[in-house]
Amino acid sequence: MIKLALSDVDGTLVPFGHQHVSARTLEAIRTLQNAGVRFGLATGRDEPDLIRQFCGHSWPFDTGILSNGKKIMVDGTIACLTLLDNDAVARVASLTLEYPDSFVSVYPQNAVPSDRVYCIGATREQMAPWLTSVGANAVIVDRVPDVQILGATIACNHSQRMMEELIARAVQECPELDFAQPFPQWCDVLPKGLNKGSALSILLEALGMTGDEAVFFGDAENDLALLGSIENSVAVANATPAAAAAARWHIGACEDDAVALALEQIAQAAQGGFVPAFMRP
């Protein structure tokens, strides 16, 4: 029986280019919770962004895996927190400055929606395509600030090929870090070995659950570790080929509220004592 449903956000719950989840998705999460099944996110984003994407609500993500596993939440309390090393992020930022139309963004811990996101060496023009990701309060600075860093990302406006070259160099020069792309020309910076998949066991232990009692919905590269480590892995129809191949189950597209439909099916199954429709052979 499924007791916990986890979902990625961008490209899974929220279509790219959209600002927030649909009304149906919010209602489906409530329906799931009312059926006695927990819901949580497994996302690269942190609370300030999620507040916006969930229309000012925080209850949908008071439990889950945030910031690609660097923050694990249980009932609104931080159960585990891992920060990025400032010197390592500074080396990535210095490297990125060698590439045109590329920059690093730094997301402080303990941020609120009105707080700053720091974009290292960017211009307003370079930031413009990424305002949905970096946030309207992003500010340009010339170096990594002396703050506790929860998240860092690389943006590259030039080309995906250049992004891949940049990442290859960063892997060589910053061995204490990992890099994962949730979508083209945008890359998450992570502590070595830490990801959504590595965070799953911590979350399950805190909730007193086993792996077969959880399901995860994803679509992209930064979901691969979790898709590969959970028995009930699900890819949306718009998932990357790698994410689709890693998933056990497959549903419709993000744009069609496919995850909302799957959550409704899980709720029905929990109440009726049967297997959710999308998980039947």
Per-residue pLDDT 10s for the chain (281 aa) are 999 999 999 999 999 889 899 999 999 999 999 999 999 999 999 988 899 899 999 999 999 999 999 999 999 999 999 999 999 999 999 999 999 889 999 999 875 555 678 999 898 888 888 877 776 678 899 999 999 999 999 999 888 899 999 999 999 999 999 999 888 889 999 999 999 999 999 999 999 999 999 999 999 999 999 999 999 999 999 999 999 999 999 999 999 999 999 999 999 999 999 999 999 98
- Do 146 and 212 lie in one domain? The reply is no
Say if residue 199 is in the same domain as residue 260.
yes
| 215: exposed, middle or buried (Cβ count in 10 Å: 0-12, 13-18, 19+) | buried
pTM of the complete model:
0.90
pLDDT of residue 137: 75
Give the angle 34-40-41 at the CA atoms, nearest 5°.
145
Q: Do 216 and 259 share a domain, yes or no? A: yes
Task: Extract the tokens encoding 219.
Answer: 């679509």
Residue 219: φ, ψ to 5°: -150, -10
Shared-domain flag, residues 235 and 180: no
Q: Domain holding 136: CATH number?
A: 3.30.1240.10
Find the domain containing 152 and state its range: 86-191
* Residue 49 exposed, middle or buried by CB count within 10 Å (0-12, 13-18, 19+): buried
Same domain, 94 and 174: yes
Sign of the Cα pseudo-torsion (72, 77, 78, 79, in order)? negative
| Domain end marker among 164, 191, 218 | 191
Q: Indicate if 210 and 173 belong to the same structural domain.
A: no
What is the per-residue pLDDT for 184? 84
Tell whether 57 and 129 lie within a shared domain. no
Are residues 71 and 204 both part of a single domain? yes
Find the CATH number of the domain harbouring 66. Answer: 3.40.50.1000
Same domain, yes or no: 71 and 115: no
Let me know whether 184 and 226 are in one domain. no
The last residue of one of the domains, among 156, 176, 191, is 191
Mark whether 202 and 72 lie in a shared domain.
yes
Q: Of 101, 94, 67, which is closest to residue 182 (Cα–Cα)?
A: 67
The answer to whether 258 touches 252, Cβ cutoff 8 Å, is yes
Count the domains in the chain: 2
Please check whether residues 68 and 43 belong to one and the same domain: yes
Contact indicator for 216, 199 with CB cutoff of 8 Å: no
Q: Which of 147, 165, 191 is the last residue of a domain?
A: 191
157: Cβ contacts below 8 Å, ≥ 6 apart:
101, 102, 126, 129, 185
